[in-house]
Amino acid sequence: MQHNNILILDFGSQYTQLIARRVRELNIYCEIHPFNKIPKNLDTFKAVVLSGSPFSVRGEDAVHPDLSEIRGKKPLLAVCYGAQYLAHFSGGEVAPSNTREYGRANLSFIKSNEAFFKNINEGSQVWMSHSDTIKHLPTNGVLLASTHDVKNAAYKIEGEETYAIQFHPEVYHSTDGKQLLENFLVHIAKVEQDWTPQSFVEETVEDLQNKLGNDKVVLGLSGGVDSSVAAMLLHKAIGKNLYCIFVNNGLLRKNEFTDVLEQYKGMGLNVKGVDASARFLDALAGLSDPELKRKAIGRAFIEVFDDEAHLIEDVKWLAQGTIYPDVIESVSATGGPSATIKSHHNVGGLPDFMKLKIVEPLKALFKDEVRRVGASMDMDATLLGRHPFPGPGLAIRILGDITAEKVRILQEVDAVFINGLKEWNLYDKVWQAGAILLPVNSVGVMGDERTYEKCVALRAVESTDGMTADWVNLPYEFLQKTSNDIINKVKGVNRVVYDISSKPPATIEWE
């Protein structure tokens, strides 16, 4: 089935993925493409959105998309940079703003009887983020809305289905942003809202059956949401021809290997558990540098996985739980920061000796959509609600070198913390939580004796996508009980601290 597709052209804005997520929340399918790689065939796209950008349309480095096949031919919504681009190069004028227009503002004027602003009233809060402003509208431009400081906050171009706004409807602070996108996509562009988790499951299962036929597929399960949902989709499509391998790298949470293995078997998956903890600990011996630890774990995983894959006769495909943000980062508009942020992401990390074809059933989905797809297949809510957990596991939460004893200490501390969050009904209010074992010993007193033992840091953050994150204000009573439990129950720890840093600038993980 062909969905009505929305094309989002990315000019490098940090908010581009948010636009896509808001569009999909309306049950409309959309794709992000860099502004300089516009798809050749635009027939499948029902409307186009131009994103914001860190560039200025007045600068030498202003980016110029070729809109000849789009403007006037398809409904077009231009956001921020897009709005300024259309004005500046089509008979209007963009100039530096006297005041940097950043943050919350309110619409003080809205042109009446405009479909674009249906069900949105004067006073509606919007989010601005730009240092230039549109002084004069482009040829045939009609003013649609203003704020106190920004006269040309929204306009349309007469004779075209082209609309432009100088604020970000995709950001939560724009209270009617979703309504505005709905007005443009559903009422103006006449796009049908037919992209649902159920339709995704039905189409994906059918596509997988056509693509894979009677071939065997191998998938590495991690216990996380993405690989688990990918496994269920493949299981629905090809049943016993899916061979799942769940590797214990010795760096999982306490009891996780056995618990998760049982859970997978309960889901009917054809899964084999491989305990390779000793192999991973050997590979990590003496390494303290985070990148070297990541690489050692990656190499060990590939070796173990390859050994296991060779035991499956005639396996043709490797399935991966790659999701859409991984794909976008790999082809980002500006070359992007994505290349340098992490070395353990899922895309393109295959060694030459695994010559299998790749199948990625989730590569069109955002994280929240993966969960919704899992729920529509009646997967266990506790599995779908699991916090993200780093690929290298506890190795990057033990700062410095890794030993079996340090892993034991951190597993015990982490278990007290995570179980406590669940008992206090706090687990689902947190995006990600964990404990970090610090490479310092500190002085303490237990009974009459002085101790010189480990210090652990607890970390809990809230986020929607992991791109930005705030530390969670956990109740003092909870922190007090957790600290007491850790120090009393975990041999080798005498001090507990709580990390109150947000991202940016501090990343969620410490390494």
Rounded to an integer, what distance in angstroms lies between the CA atom of residue 62 and that of residue 84?
11
Q: Has 303 been annotated as catalytic?
A: no
Measured CA to CA, the distance from residue 264 to residue 95 in angstroms comes to 59
Catalytic site residue from 3, 30, 161, 170: 170
Instruction: Identify the active-site residue in 3, 30, 80, 244.
Output: 80
Q: What is d(CA 272, CA 245) in angstroms, rounded to the nearest whole number?
A: 5
Annotated active-site residue 345? The verdict is no
Contact (Cβ atoms closer than 8 angstroms) between residue 27 and residue 200: no
Torsion of CA 295, 297, 299, 301, to 10 degrees: -150
User: Alpha-carbon distance 31 to 84, whole Å?
Assistant: 23
Helix (H, G, I), strand (E, B) or coil at 75: coil
The CA distance from 257 to 246, in Å, is 8
Structure tokens at 44: 């499948």
What is the 8-class DSSP label of residue 347?
T
According to the annotation, is 434 in a ligand binding site? no
Return the SS3 of 143. strand
Structure tokens at 424: 């206090």
Expressed in angstroms, the distance from the first to the final Cα of the chain is 44
Closest C-alpha among 218, 233, 256 to residue 394: 256
* 465 vs 380: CA distance, rounded Å: 21
- Residue 48 to residue 42: CA distance in whole angstroms: 10
What is the C-alpha to C-alpha distance for residues 2 and 44, in angstroms, rounded to an integer? Answer: 8
223 is in an annotated binding site: yes
CA distances from 112 to 134, 144, 206 (A): 22, 8, 47
Helix axes 197-212, 225-238, angle to 10 degrees: 60
The response to whether 330 counts as a known ligand-binding position is: no
| Annotated catalytic residue within 130, 168, 182, 244 | 168
Taking the C-alpha atoms of residue 29 and residue 200, their distance in angstroms, rounded to an integer, is: 10
The annotation status of 442 as a binding-site residue, yes or no, is no
Instruction: Sort 380 into a burial class: Cβ within 10 Å, 0-12 / 13-18 / 19+.
Output: middle
Q: Check residue 74 and report its DSSP letter.
A: B
Kind plus residue range of the DSSP H or E element containing 31: strand 29-34
Q: Is 273 annotated as a binding residue?
A: no
Q: Cα–Cα distances in Å, from 145 out to 23, 47, 227, 418, 487?
A: 22, 22, 46, 49, 59
455 is catalytic: no
Residue 225 assigned ligand-binding role? yes
* 228 labelled binding-site residue: yes
Residues that constitute the known binding site for ATP? 222-228
* Active site (catalytic) residues: 80, 168, 170
Residues that constitute the known binding site? 222-228
